A and B are shown apart, each in its own frame.
Chain A
Amino acid sequence: MSELSVRNLGWSAGGRSLVQDVSFTVNSGETLGLIGPNGSGKSSLLRCVAGITRPDRGEIDYGDTPLRNLGARARAHHLAFVEQMHHSSSDMCVADIVGLGRIPYRRRMGLFTAQDHAIVQAALETMDLTELKDRVCRRLSGGEQQRANIARALAQRARVLMLDEPTNHLDVRHQIDVMRLVRDLPQAVVVCLHDLNLAARYCDRLIVMQAGRMVAHGAPEVVLTPDLFDKVFAIDACLHVGPDAKREVQIAL
């Protein structure tokens, strides 16, 4: 069974239909990329699926449980969400932030168990943050902060991880770092991306959004045709697959 399945999702706000009739599934270990031009509805779609906004139509199931049957706590067991780079006003250190991922498992007294500690350590390790764990998060570089946010989401031990433009504001090296780490996660991952190259390179499957609709869905090699680049993104581009199966979008400037 899929970790996440979405059927005929629709959401409109202010009389405008922002997401129309979208259906897809994601399995564990898979990285699904949402791409599309600005205002195409990819962020709205992600926020509906994460339960932040309530869709008007359609079904969202986590495993075999409908999203609407899940309370705040139970929902956080199923999904974790990382917003676009958020500048926190708090001086929390990296380990504290990752520890907040254990909120949905808090006991009545709110005490941190040995298991919680172990999970936090593991999340720090996965995101390569063990050495930075006592540093004030907002003093770190953008890439390190973003890794801390993802580690926090990992500590939630949710089966589906959602990331909204995780590479925004990062320099190229950190973009690649973050995407590599995300791709190798065992969870089902849904990620909104602006950068077509990162999407082509690191996602197993892509959903292309345009004006709230899903206009293409499938493996990058199948989806990213010159015709699609032209119609959806209004660019002259094609996908080049190298001898080592590395995918690369070549854009004619």
Chain B
Amino acid sequence: MLDPAADLASSIPAEIARLPRGLGGVALTLLGVGAVLLSMVLAVQIGVAEVQFSDLLRIVATRLGIDVEPLGRMRESLIWDLRVPRILAAALVGAALAICGAVLQAMTGNALADPYLLGISGGASTGAVFVVILGFGGGTLLSTGAFIGAMVVLAILLLLLRKGGGTPLKLVLTGVIIGQFFSAVTSLVVMAAGDAEATRGITYWLLGSLATARWTPVLLLSILTIGGGLVVWAHAHVLDAMSFGSDTAQTMGVNVSRSRLILLVVCALMTAVAVAMVGAIGFVGLIIPHAARLISGPLHVTLIPFSALLGAILLIWTDALARTILAPQEIPVGVFTALIGVPLFLLLLRRRGDL
């Protein structure tokens, strides 16, 4: 399945980072969690409307029934109904995409796998757009449409690549081409609907933007991201075993076909709900697991949590950048992840000797 010639043996050190066992590991994990929380608190204060930390404290205090002078209605709504869910959505989407990237990389034995590059996000977009255009409205149905789209792409990928994954680049090429196809289908559906206003809205969403994040979908997103993340984490040893190929994994006490099904469905679900929420955001799933490996080492029991933490941090900050750099105009966050991600992707190809 893997081409020995493409082995990057020469470019990796003989000994690699691994999470220190015991207290050191715990401290590093707490540091990561702290960094996410700090990023959230700081990012809430960034944006067109000025928000101070004390405002945030007052809102939380009011919600908890503590007697403080309440903020103005408008102001409170702006912070609590727009800014806070947006930050949460950024963190959750970043975590979900990073986890999916790590899972896909392990299951395909391919360092270049990513829900966006493999076309899964594209399929999810098409599914979600169908739901919107057919007028079923949003919410859960949107995610369901996105899930169906994501599963269709996964099924096509598995069908095309059932005789082993070929080279890593072949898998990515296949995914990108499938993604292009679904992108064309999406455009066709949007154009056929013919509503200029809807077209504009959908196009903006397709580029990946967190501007429309609200509480209700964020709750769904958090349930699926945390639940899905825990399911993946419980399969960490399966992902480790998979690096020996599925035949050997099967003799190592892993029920490969069942685990693979569970993991793929969970990945499709997490990608779908993220895409339904904020559109297709690329490269988070590709880059983050590689960065996380530098801290956590290659074992998935630590790689999965650290991917989630780093993914959350990356998206919180790119979104903060996206809404301030050309303020008051917002830039879709997907634009930024691509601007950061593509050079890193090329660098990765270069290091692998593929470019």
Contact = CB atoms under 8 A, between A and B. Distances in A.
A83 B244 CA distance: 9
A91 B298 contact: yes
A110 B237 contact: yes
A89 B252 contact: no
A86 interface: yes
Interface residues of B, number: 36
A136 B15 contact: yes
B261 to A, nearest CB: 14
Contacts of B106: 90
Contacts of A101: 252
Contacts of B110: 89
A51 interface: yes
A103 B16 CA distance: 23
Contacts, number: 106
B240 interface: yes
A75 interface: yes
A156 interface: yes
B14 interface: yes
Contact of B18 (A81, A93, A104): A93
B77 interface: no
A147 to B, nearest CB: 15
A139 B2 contact: no
B176 interface: no
Interface string B235-269: 01100110111011011111110000000000000
Given A134-B15, A138-B9, A88 B237 contact: no
Contacts of A82: 248
A89 B16 contact: no
Contacts of A83: 244-245, 247-248
Nearest to B109: A89
B201 interface: no
A73 B253 contact: yes
A76 B18 contact: no
A245 interface: no
Given A88-B244, A93-B18, A103 B254 contact: yes
Contact of B15 (A86, A93, A103, A156): A93
11 contacts: A72-B250, A76-B251, A86-B248, A89-B110, A91-B298, A93-B15, A100-B244, A104-B252, A136-B12, A138-B9, A138-B12
Given A90-B106, A90-B243, 8 more contacts: A75-B251, A80-B252, A83-B244, A88-B244, A91-B298, A96-B18, A135-B14, A136-B16
Interface of A: 47, 50-52, 71-73, 75-77, 79-83, 86-93, 96, 100-101, 103-104, 106, 110, 134-136, 138-139, 149, 156
